A and B are shown apart, each in its own frame.
Chain A
Amino acid sequence: MYLDRCKRRLKSSSAVNPAVISPQDPTLLIGSSLVATCTVSPDFPLRAEDLYWTLNGRRLPAASYTALGPSTLSVALARLNGSRQQSGDNLVCHSRDGGILAGSCLYVGRTTEKPVNISCWSKNMKDLTCKWAPGTEGETFLHTNYTLKYKRRWYGQDNTCHEYHTAGTYSCHIPEDLALFTPYEIWVEASNRLGVAVSDVVMLDILDVVTTDPPSDVHVSRVGDLEDQLSVRWSSPPALKDFLFQAKYQIQYRVEDSSEWKVVDDVGNQTSCRLAGLRPGTVYFVQVRCNPFSIYGSKKAGIWSDWSNPTAASTPRSERVAGGCDPKGGEQNTTLRRELKQFFGWVKKHAYGCSNLGIKLYDQWRVWLQKSHKTRNQVGKEPFALLLPGWAGPGGAAG
């Protein structure tokens, strides 16, 4: 049986191949045509009419066959589609009993396009990571290999990046320190079986693409007993302490049961901030991020770090809503009027002649008000205090 001979061939590599397909493992453009031939070895008593073809397991119609000799059968494939799998379509020559005599893998696709949108960032000036997008025309049906290359402009030699997929599918990480104060040229080469496409060269100075670690020591605490405020403090990025740079920060916060963050983006270069207008008796998650810019006078905008891990804290419970009942609008107005009246009375008594009448003074009055309520009502413990990991308890200094 021919099949057994085929098996024997696989067992013994020195044995003669039962048949040979030509071309072997060709690469073709989508839409092209191919004529493949299967020639049976003279050692095997098989004739062309004993053979048939399959492509990816499907038998090809006999109408596409031509006997080119007593033991050679060709098949014509027209307008080829892109390969079904990147490992190649399987074109197989069979004997009549289904045995495999020979196989050839067809790689049908299109040329790769030049990669686009290259962007890079350096974490603390210690490394460089770049990512890019493949071309825009869609799938090439062939495995594409990407190589990121870089060199110092003018006098450097080409270097190749080796750590791929570190920040997504199309990314590469250069772990070593790169030279500062010199521009780099960076580009990506995309290659597949049909050729190579090279991206445009991106020019950058490491100082212009620096980002840093998110602030790691974010503290969130209450502002005395003010039920609508929290104080946030953090440190500037230690990894950049030896470098001349400016930093700006952003804060985002959300209530525990919501996924919607509110962003405070006017923090500037301060390392503390007070969040106001919060809901009383509510747990808030707070994150901070840093943008180091103007490193050694760089004129670029800088790159934001990741957000810090969320830090949780709760605002003090409001006594007005302590019963779980939300006051109606009219009641709120009455309360506000009453509070304002109290406030002005308090200003007259405690801050008479003080020209610095601002929100800080209002906060002091709120603290005073809370204390006087507390003395009257002896408010119990905050329920969140015992529940929250990372909870910043009361006692945080008023800003």
Chain B
Amino acid sequence: MAAADSPSAALRRRDLCSRGIRLAGKMRVDVIDLLDAYVERQGLDVSSLDSSVAAVEGVPLAAVERWDEQTGTQRLLENLAAYRAFRALLAQMLEEQREQLGEADAGLGRALASVLLQVSAFTYHLEELLRLESRGEGEEEEDRPAPPPRLSIFEQKLRGLGVLRELAQWAVRSARDLRQLSKPSPATGTAAGLAESP
């Protein structure tokens, strides 16, 4: 907590938060573009799929109840867990894409790789913020979960759609989480969310 209270740490946190907000904004724009391309290349009729891909195994949901009541640490930990999961899911999507289409759809592959890179960068950003908090939680990545079972090609398409849709939602939520974290606490002058962390 000491680190969180010092003025330099507060400054660093504010800097990390504002850069994180920019990263999240860029990520959202790129994911939306990628989603359009993905739907087109996979021949998916989005209107008929809307409800069917609402929840896909292993994809963290951005939807949250009582968001206002979350502490700063809670926000960071949930974000970190989500982006670590997205990193693994996107890497798998990229591998499947290469397996099936090789270099034939290099544009989609490049866009996917670019979003994966942004997710990795954002994950690192969140780890930095948590480290600043000196809490240690989330610093070490948990053991990687066992790879999901082999899906049929159509199931892979649906899962990809679910991953990108949810990632776009997370980008919005993360920007708001970071904005919340960067607000100075009236009592200590440090970030409100973090200061009230349990």
- Residues of chain A within 8 A (CB-CB) of B154 are 25, 88, 90, 92, 102-105
Q: How far is the CA of A25 from the CA of B152 in the complex (A)?
A: 8
Q: Does B48 contact A (CB under 8 A)?
A: yes
Contacts A7-B54, A54-B48 given; 17 further ones with Cβ under 8 A? A7-B55, A10-B56, A11-B55, A56-B43, A57-B44, A85-B42, A86-B104, A87-B43, A87-B100, A87-B105, A87-B153, A88-B43, A90-B42, A90-B45, A90-B154, A99-B52, A103-B158
Q: How far is the CA of A164 from the CA of B103 in the complex (A)?
A: 9
**Given A13-B57, A85-B43: A105 and B153 interface contact (C-beta under 8 Å):** yes
- Residues of chain B within 8 A (CB-CB) of A143 are 100-102, 104
A103 and chain B: residue at smallest CB distance: B154
Q: Which of A3, A12, A99, A164 contacts B57 (CB 8 A)?
A: A12
Do B101 and A24 have beta carbons less than 8 Å apart?
A: no
Q: How far is the CA of A58 from the CA of B43 in the complex (A)?
A: 11
What does the 1/0 interface line of B32-51 toward A look like (CB < 8 Å)? Answer: 00000000111111011101
- Residues of chain A within 8 A (CB-CB) of B42 are 85, 87, 90
What is the interface of chain B, defined by CB distance below 8 A to chain A? 40-45, 47-49, 51-57, 100-106, 148-149, 152-155, 157-159, 162
Q: Which of B55, B149, B152, B158 contacts A100 (CB 8 A)?
A: B158
Please classify the interface of chain B as helix (H, G, I), strand (E, B), loop, or mixed, using the class held by over half of its residues: loop
Q: How far is the CA of A145 from the CA of B159 in the complex (A)?
A: 25
B105 and chain A: residue at smallest CB distance: A86
B153 and chain A: residue at smallest CB distance: A105
Could you tell me how many residues of chain A have their Cβ less than 8 Å away from some Cβ of chain B?
34
Question: Shortest distance in angstroms between A80's beta carbon and chain B's nearest beta carbon?
Answer: 15
B159 and chain A: residue at smallest CB distance: A10
Which 7 A/B pairs are nearest by Cβ-Cβ distance? A57-B45, A103-B154, A100-B52, A85-B43, A105-B153, A13-B149, A143-B104
What is the interface of chain A, defined by CB distance below 8 A to chain B? 3, 6-7, 10-13, 24-25, 54, 56-58, 84-90, 92, 94, 98-100, 102-105, 143-145, 164-165
Q: How far is the CA of A84 from the CA of B43 in the complex (A)?
A: 8
A102 and chain B: residue at smallest CB distance: B154
**What would 21 A/B residue contacts be, using CB atoms closer than 8 Å?**
A10-B55, A10-B56, A10-B158, A13-B57, A56-B43, A85-B41, A86-B41, A86-B101, A87-B41, A87-B105, A90-B43, A90-B45, A92-B48, A100-B49, A103-B155, A103-B157, A104-B152, A104-B154, A143-B104, A164-B103, A165-B106
- Residues of chain B within 8 A (CB-CB) of A92 are 48, 154
Do B101 and A99 have beta carbons less than 8 Å apart?
A: no
Do A13 and B45 have beta carbons less than 8 Å apart?
A: no
- Residues of chain B within 8 A (CB-CB) of A98 are 48, 51
- Residues of chain A within 8 A (CB-CB) of B148 are 13
Q: How far is the CA of A57 from the CA of B48 in the complex (A)?
A: 7
Do A54 and B52 have beta carbons less than 8 Å apart?
A: no
- Residues of chain B within 8 A (CB-CB) of A99 are 51-52
Most buried by A among B54, B55, B152, B159: B152
Question: Shortest distance in angstroms between B82's beta carbon and chain A's nearest beta carbon?
Answer: 16
- Residues of chain B within 8 A (CB-CB) of A11 are 55-57
